[in-house]
Copies of this chain bind each other. A is one copy, B any other.
Amino acid sequence: MAVARASAMVGFVATSNVEGARRYGLTVAGTMAHSFVEAFASEREAFVAFAEDHPNRTTFLVDTYDTLSGVRTAIDTIRALDLAGRLGIRLDSGDLDALARGARSLLDDAGLPHARIFASGGLDEHEVHELVQAGAPVDAFGVGTQLGVSADAPYVDSVYKLTEYAGRPVLKLSAGKASAPGRKQVWRGQAGDLIALRDERSGPPDGAPLLEPVMRGGHRLADAPSLADARERFHADLAAVPTKALRLMHPEHVVVPKSEALQALTERTSADARGRSGG
């Protein structure tokens, strides 16, 4: 359910999660399972049964036994039932580039240029990028596993850091793990982000503060945002990320500058901490 909601938030156009679609008002789309095909005496019988249930939006899963043979069976089924709704086939294994070209050719030769080709099967952003760059005739991608897990960042290495104790700003200087002292606010403006002390008189002229209280005394201070609001915020935030940091390959890390007051406090507290080292 969380993946269905998150995927809708970031721009996916449909989900195969029926309850997710119902709960969040999303478009439901998808096709049969391989087990559906296997449960019939023949692939063709499975396709006919599915098309009779879904005549207006029919996608055939063609790779249970042999992909291009499956595409031919889909074409036969479309002709036999005279299907006229939204038509497509789905590739879920093998060399997706080659199979998409083979399937496109068979569909075009059969007078079905409007039949769409869906590709899926453990795809991630890099494989999608490669297929697009190669010009594979894929009309839509289905992504599940790689969206629902964070395989390239499987944990958030977050650590509690003390920044103030009894009114005194503190930090640690550990190699590669130095922290910055004091209570902070992060500002986002046209010129980028700025980390400042929380009590600095004001942030940059056009900046908005990013840290805001969401709970107080154990209670949340506002209702959760709607999916529409979350989607709007996501797209606005994404648009604010510098292009160089958005690149799929070799993105550049964005270094967020610190305000002069925070820099000065860090220097003072570091000098102080070096004095505290030892006795």
Q: Say yes or no: A175-B94 contact (C-beta < 8 A), given A38-B165, A155-B145.
A: yes
In the complex, are the beta carbons of A64 and B172 less than 8 A apart?
A: yes
A 55-69 binary contact with B (CB < 8 Å = 1; else 0): 000000001111101
Interface segment among A19-27, A40-48, A213-221, A246-254: the answer is A40-48
Interface segment among A146-154, A191-199, A225-233: the answer is A146-154
Chain B CB within 8 A of A205 CB: no
Q: Using a Cβ–Cβ cut-off of 8 Å, how many residues does chain A contribute to the interface with B?
A: 54
Number of copies: 2
Chain B CB within 8 A of A122 CB: yes
In the complex, are the beta carbons of B277 and A66 less than 8 A apart?
A: yes
Residues of B with C-beta under 8 A to A273 = 38, 65
**Pairs A–B under 8 Å by Cβ, sample size 21:** A33-B160, A34-B161, A35-B162, A35-B165, A38-B165, A38-B170, A38-B172, A38-B273, A39-B166, A39-B170, A43-B276, A43-B278, A44-B278, A63-B175, A65-B277, A69-B278, A73-B279, A93-B176, A121-B177, A122-B157, A150-B154
